[in-house]
Amino acid sequence: MKWENLLEIVGDEAAFSSSLLLSGNASISQVRLQLSRWVKAGRLIQLRRGLYAMAPAWRKTEPHPFLVANKLQRGSYVSLQSAMAYHGVIPEYVPVVTSVGPGRPETLRNPLGSFQFRHLVAGMLFGYTQTEIAPRQFAFVASAEKALLDLVYLTPGADSPDYLRELRLQNAGAINMLLLRELAERSGRPKLIRAAREVEELLSGEEGESL
């Protein structure tokens, strides 16, 4: 395969799998060898085994970190602090993209950023949608409400008023209290149901100001 052929196949894809190139008589070993050569030449960036992005000089689309996170671990969705910051309900800048999913926990670093994945049981994999996070780039992102519940679920003691207050939740209008309660009840987890009640009390008491 020639470089021009790769550019034509990949097109505007921000990140692509090596399986995209397996057509015709091309073998996996041949494709991997050629991709390895292009990585060494600085034309491609390897994000993890089998996943690549164009180097900046050949890039038509700047990969959004959320899209990259989705591709790094199949079945995952952006949640926890990253999704909460995206929805504007916590004030902090989040340097690591945090995701949850059915896969094993892991932290990955590559030239496009740092990515953390937390394992979530199958019964908790809901409350997210495919979102256009950049022009023509889509990623699965938790709602503000589910991101908060995921954080509570995965953090010991996170249903306590003190912990929830330390999150400094802001922009109360971005949190749908009815949806928060519905998602907590759907989970069937008493911890999340308690946390939903606490969040509602905290935010209603502050009239939407930062806690």
We report the CATH number of the domain holding residue 29 as 1.10.10.10
Same domain as 109, residue 28: no
Same domain as 197, residue 137: yes
Same domain as 90, residue 19: no
Same domain as 95, residue 13: no
Query: Is residue 211 a part of any domain in this protein?
Result: no
Q: At what angle do helices 144-154 and 177-187 cross, to 10 degrees?
A: 40
Domain that holds residue 20: 3-58
Query: Is residue 49 a part of any domain in this protein?
Result: yes
Same domain as 120, residue 91: yes
Q: What is the 3-state secondary structure (H, E, C) of the chain?
A: CCHHHHHHHHCCCCCEEHHHHCCCCCCHHHHHHHHHHHHHCCCEEEEECCEEEECHHHCCCCCCHHHHHHHHCCCCEECHHHHHHHCCCCCCCCCEEEEEECCCCEEEEECCEEEEEEECCHHHCCCEEEEEEECCEEEEEECHHHHHHHHHHHCCCCCCHHHHHHCCCCCHHHCCHHHHHHHHHHHCCHHHHHHHHHHHHHHHHHCCCCC
pTM value is 0.91
Domain finish residue from 19, 39, 58: 58
Closest by CA to 20, choosing from 29, 31, 12, is 31
The tens place of each residue's pLDDT in the chain, 211 residues long, gives 889 989 998 988 999 999 888 765 667 888 889 999 999 999 999 999 999 999 999 999 999 999 999 999 999 999 999 999 999 999 877 899 999 999 999 999 999 999 999 999 999 999 999 999 999 999 999 999 999 999 999 999 999 999 999 999 988 788 999 999 999 999 999 999 999 999 999 988 765 444 4
Total of domains in the chain: 2
